[in-house]
Amino acid sequence: MDAREMIARRAATELRDGQVVNLGIGMPTAVANYLPADVVLTLQSENGCLLFGATPSLGDEDPDVANAGGQPIKLLPGASIFDLATSFAIIRGGHVDVSILGALEVDQEGSIANWARPLAPGKFAPGMGGAMDLVFGARKVVVTVEHSGKAGSKILKKCRFPITGKGVVDVIITEKAVFEVTCDGLVLAEIAGGLVVDDIRAITEADFVVAEDVRPYHLSSP
């Protein structure tokens, strides 16, 4: 199991019956494939869809039905599709319970940076899209991000890239650990197998405290 699958599986365990859940572009879209069997919820895509399921098998996809990242999705019975204005009325109106987003970096204050920056002349990383609306419109914001990149830790004391939302993140999930964001800073809640607290400190720029009941990293069932 690679890091991205680990993160998606762990993110799926954050979800509960009856919720409306938005899955952001990139890593979060895979969460649809790992939803717990006993959880019934409604997935929302910002480009205008309610009630879809796991990624369809090759050959079973409909080229006219895709998520905001252009990846195929499979509509479930009772699903609806609509225009972008309606989709953002749902998001801005506070009707999304959980938003799961990818990030370039996140910090100990619960701020997230996940939008465009120049890579080379005429080339940019992915744009903000609806993320600014989602981090303020959703009741809970879960960030899925690999713990480190080529430049080092992605869990920082302070975001360096342009901020999508300040102090909006509730949970940070990496392949190494799970942090809860509180008014007093980050709390290390779960640690991946084979690692100890000192390992997490060595790869994390941000300051954090360790939960009294810190737990092993919990994944959804295969």
Q: Which amino acid is at 70?
A: G
Measured CA to CA, the distance from residue 34 to residue 50 in angstroms comes to 18
Q: Is 46 a catalytic residue?
A: yes
Coil/strand/helix, residue 198 = helix
Which residue, 126, 71, 135, 45, is CA-closest to 99? 135
Count CB atoms within 10 A of the CB of residue 66: 16
Measured CA to CA, the distance from residue 161 to residue 173 in angstroms comes to 19
> Going by C-beta distance under 8 Å and a sequence separation of 6 or more, which residues neighbour residue 77?
none
Are 73 and 66 in contact, with CB atoms under 8 Å apart? yes
- Which is catalytic among the residues 46, 105, 109, 175? 46
Positions marked active-site: 46
